[in-house]
């Protein structure tokens, strides 16, 4: 994707949603005690600094192993240090990409999280800057019928 500058989030009001009183069990069900524990401001919860936060739409399949699917929305913070292990938006030779940042044998590497795609090993003539760090991945759950996980 050719590099161009997106606009930061324009947040003027909180986004308040009711918060359930306890965590929901992923194992055996537990009895529900109450139905409301107050409100949660999603903006305050998900956005560290609105002036540094942007939303990008993912395109492609190279990051499916990290839970990023084609069409997902990525919340990206430009104010977070891009340390190895973080998923980042990088500009490589003028093109945007989303990959996991790592350092291997002293060289920066942008790791794909799908074995069908190659990692990007940065050489001395490669221009790369980290544009921002992915802080949240937003997507709707997939609909699956009659499918059970393998044991």
Please identify every residue annotated as catalytic.
Answer: 62, 99
Q: What per-residue string of b and e applies to 49-79 under the rule 16 or more CB within 10 Å gives b?
A: eeebbbebebebebbbebebeeebebbbbbe
**Residue 42 contacts residue 17 (beta carbons within 8 Å):** yes
Read off the DSSP letter of residue 13: S
Distance CA 59, CA 18 (A): 32
| DSSP 3-state percent helix, strand, coil across the chain (nearest 5) | 5, 35, 60
């Amino acid at each position: 994707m050719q590099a161009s500058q997106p606009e930061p989030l324009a947040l003027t009001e909180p986004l308040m949603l009711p918060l359930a009183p306890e965590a929901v069990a992923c194992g055996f069900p537990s009895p529900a005690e109450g139905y409301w524990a107050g409100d949660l401001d999603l903006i305050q919860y998900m956005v560290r600094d609105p002036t540094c936060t942007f939303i990008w739409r993912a395109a492609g399949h190279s990051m499916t192993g990290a839970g990023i699917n084609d069409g997902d929305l990525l919340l990206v913070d430009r104010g977070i240090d891009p340390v190895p292990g973080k998923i980042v938006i990088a500009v490589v030779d003028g093109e945007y990409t989303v990959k996991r940042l790592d350092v291997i044998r002293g060289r920066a590497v942008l790791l794909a999280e799908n074995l069908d795609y190659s990692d990007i090993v940065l050489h001395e003539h490669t221009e790369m800057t980290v544009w921002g760090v992915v802080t949240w991945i937003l997507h709707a759950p997939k609909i699956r019928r009659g499918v059970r996980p393998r044991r």
